[in-house]
């Protein structure tokens, strides 16, 4: 699994350097930033200690949409839940969710927001899953590099997982097709794609594992055929 960590508009160079060090420590080397160049400041290197190569090959994107393009699954991190009916998973739940998805996720992107304000609601809508770090106090949030370190530690075990190739398992391309099929099917059935029910159904779809994805795709295909027949009458 290829895991990329994305920082949206980081404002403190030292934080980016510390993030690079945290990722290197946990065995990761893919880091991207959105709309920021503070990683080029000398202060970033001061805290990068031994991870200058991670800092040196940071990908820079102008928008989050550009940064997450091509990812099979995008995890948006947040210090608090934003919507009552939104699924929200703790960081320690993610490894098991990803294992259940199996071959459907080859490229994972984990997104972190601004130091002061996190991710906007619009940016969270670009993420397939919302996640946070459970804390014992009501303190607003952790330092950016601390948050990245915790997620990197939780996800580091996935690098040692070996999944036996299985041609019957849904691939990332097939799962993206399932997302499209399900969305089109709901719209054709009369659901507004901006409605809370539509969004809720699509959120729950992201939780589907590889064992059920093929079954749901078959059901969607059958329902598509029935809708087409009804429209042609």
pLDDT the model gives residue 123? 94
Q: Give the three-class secondary structure for 118.
A: strand
Q: What is the mean pLDDT of the chain?
A: 85
Q: Determine if the pTM surpasses 0.85.
A: no
The CA-based angle 97-66-208, given to 5 degrees, is 20
Residues 213 and 174: beta-carbon distance below 8 Å? yes
Task: Tell me the CATH class for 2-160.
Answer: alpha beta
Phi, psi of 4 (to 5 degrees): -115, 135
pLDDT the model gives residue 142? 81
Instruction: Dump strand ranges (E) for the chain.
Output: 2-8, 31-34, 59-61, 73-77, 89-90, 107-112, 129-132
Range with the poorest average pLDDT among 83-87, 152-156, 164-168, 227-231? 164-168
Range with the poorest average pLDDT among 145-154, 167-176, 217-226? 167-176
Using one digit for the tens of pLDDT, what is the confidence trace for 160-192?
654 554 555 567 777 778 888 888 888 887 888
């Amino acid at each position: 699994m290829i895991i990329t960590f994305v920082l949206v508009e980081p404002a403190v160079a030292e934080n980016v350097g510390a993030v690079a060090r945290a990722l290197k420590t946990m065995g990761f080397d893919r880091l991207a930033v959105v709309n920021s160049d503070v990683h080029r400041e000398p202060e970033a290197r001061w805290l990068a200690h031994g991870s200058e190569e991670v800092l040196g090959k940071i990908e820079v994107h102008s928008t989050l949409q550009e940064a997450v393009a091509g990812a099979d699954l995008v995890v948006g991190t947040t210090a608090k839940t934003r919507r009552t009916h939104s699924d929200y998973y703790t960081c320690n739940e993610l490894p098991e969710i990803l294992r259940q998805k199996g071959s459907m996720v080859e490229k994972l992107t984990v997104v972190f927001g601004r130091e002061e304000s996190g991710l906007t609601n619009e940016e969270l809508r670009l993420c397939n899953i919302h996640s946070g770090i459970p804390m014992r106090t009501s303190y607003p949030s952790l330092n950016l590099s601390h948050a990245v370190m915790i997620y990197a530690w939780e996800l580091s075990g996935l690098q040692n997982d070996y999944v036996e190739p299985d041609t019957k398992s849904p691939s990332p391309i097939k799962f993206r097709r399932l997302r499209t099929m399900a969305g089109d099917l709901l719209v054709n059935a009369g659901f507004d794609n901006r409605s809370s029910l539509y969004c809720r159904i699509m959120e729950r779809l992201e939780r589907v594992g590889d064992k059920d994805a093929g079954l749901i795709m078959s059901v969607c295909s059958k329902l598509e055929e029935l809708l087409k027949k009804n429209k042609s009458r």
